[in-house]
């Protein structure tokens, strides 16, 4: 079935839908990973985006039930060069097309993904319309131009959990019937374990970060993005984790204020959107990158050791590195592709953050020390 991708700057791309009729609107971006399309599809950080894979052949290992990162598909649409309908992985339970169609997400192939990626790198990520319904280029471009941009939108509130839950091994578990977070004082929460307890603020959290926190020895309760500081204090955790998530950090003002109130309360660790929100809470500023960092091959330099970490990233905004100078902040990591800020820590408080995803494994274990650092900070805070 013929389809058309129209960008706000007037560029259009012909393609074919492999999922039947459909339409999607949002920001078009690209991901440079060679594998991991299932994780990409279910990453809440992609909410509202049409995702292009630069690797040409997609679908060959199908979809399994183990590698999802959230409760469902998060992308607005999936754009690829060539779809492989015959999957051949022993873990697969259905095809990529079946998975997309089950959640009414349009997928297209036959797209010149190389040309689209080069165009985005030159012109920047932009608003786009993908449709099988209206193939008139002028009409589709006009519709794309009428869409709202990513700037100024609080997307974290659209993907966060509706209620707190406990992470148990490999799955979310609802809290006791009495509760809500308000019912969880320190004694109740820690009755099941002697491990450090962590409150994870969910701005679009991935399941694998929860697995990593659990494997690192932490007992984790996930709370909605708008959970106030007083509620988190009442839970008396050992530490606070700020998750990844989609979109512009500046409109997420409620979370920035909560983080600011908790800066000197417990050790704090932030990633991705959590990194940006922590930077804003400390008095820094953020800005939109031209085409973002999305892929599993981003080189990051750890300044203290000089080591180069190969990292997985998915974000379109960044903390202005100059805005954190003279604020008692140590810059710990930089991106070697564009020298943007990738990590910082406070010299006054037990908190730190990185822009990349330490739970992913492109390195494959380059970032695991970050969980050990979190554990050490909590050990020191409880001595």
What does the DSSP assignment read for 180-220?
Answer: SGGG--HHHHGGG-SSEEEEEEESS--HHHHHHHHHTTEEE
Query: Is the bond preceding residue 278 a cis peptide, omega within 30 degrees?
Result: no
359 as an active site residue: the answer is yes
State the Cα–Cα distance between residues 354 and 173, nearest whole angstrom: 28
Q: How far apart are CA 53 and CA 117, in angstroms?
A: 9
Give catalytic status of residue 23 as yes or no: no
Burial (0-12, 13-18, 19+ Cβ within 10 Å), 113: buried
User: Which residue in this structure is represented by tokens 């389809």?
Assistant: 3
Burial of 336 per CB tally in 10 Å (0-12, 13-18, 19+)? middle
Residue tagged active-site, from 87, 196, 293, 357: 357
302 has catalytic annotation: no
Name the nearest CA neighbour of 62 among 90, 40, 81: 90
Residue 177 per-residue DSSP state: T
Active-site option among 196, 272, 302, 342: 272
Dist CA 42 CA 195 (whole Å): 29
Which of 8, 39, 109, 359 is flagged as catalytic?
359
> Encoding tokens for residue 300?
């990051």
* Positions marked active-site: 272, 357, 359
């Amino acid at each position: 079935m013929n389809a058309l991708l129209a960008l706000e700057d007037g560029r259009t791309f012909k393609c074919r839908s492999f999922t039947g009729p459909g339409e999607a609107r949002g920001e078009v971006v690209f991901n440079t990973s060679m594998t991991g399309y299932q994780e990409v599809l279910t990453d809440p950080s992609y909410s509202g985006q049409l995702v292009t894979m630069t690797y040409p052949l997609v679908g060959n290992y199908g979809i399994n039930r183990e590698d999802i990162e959230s409760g469902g598909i998060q992308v607005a649409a999936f754009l690829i060069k060539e779809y492989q309908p015959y999957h051949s992985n022993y873990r697969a339970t259905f095809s990529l097309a079946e998975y997309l169609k089950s959640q009414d997400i349009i997928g297209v192939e036959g797209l010149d993904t190389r040309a689209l990626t080069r165009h985005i790198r030159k012109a920047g990520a932009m608003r786009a319309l993908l449709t099988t319904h209206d193939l008139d280029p002028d009409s589709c471009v006009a519709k794309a131009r009428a869409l709202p941009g990513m700037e100024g939108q609080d997307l974290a509130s659209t993907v966060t959990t509706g209620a707190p839950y406990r992470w148990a091994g490999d799955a979310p578990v609802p809290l006791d019937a009495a509760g809500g977070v308000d019912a969880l004082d320190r004694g109740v929460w820690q009755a099941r374990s002697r491990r450090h307890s962590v409150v994870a603020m969910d701005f679009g959290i991935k399941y694998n970060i929860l697995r990593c926190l659990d494997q690192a020895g932490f007992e984790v309760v996930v709370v909605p993005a708008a959970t106030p500081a007083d509620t988190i204090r009442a839970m008396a955790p050992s530490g606070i984790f700020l998750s990844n998530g989609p979109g512009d950090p500046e409109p997420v003002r409620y979370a920035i204020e909560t983080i600011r109130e908790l800066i000197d309360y417990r050790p704090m660790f932030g990633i991705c959107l959590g990194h940006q929100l922590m930077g804003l809470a400390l008095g820094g500023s953020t800005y939109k990158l031209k085409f973002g960092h999305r892929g599993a091959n981003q080189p990051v330099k750890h300044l203290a050791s000089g080591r180069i970490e190969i990292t997985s990233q998915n974000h379109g905004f960044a903390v202005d590195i100059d805005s954190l100078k003279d604020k008692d902040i140590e810059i710990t990591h930089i991106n070697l592709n564009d020298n943007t800020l990738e990590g910082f820590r406070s010299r006054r408080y037990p908190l730190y953050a990185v822009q990349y995803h330490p739970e992913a494994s492109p390195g494959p274990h380059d970032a695991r020390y970050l969980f050990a650092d979190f554990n050490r900070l909590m050990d020191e805070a409880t001595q």
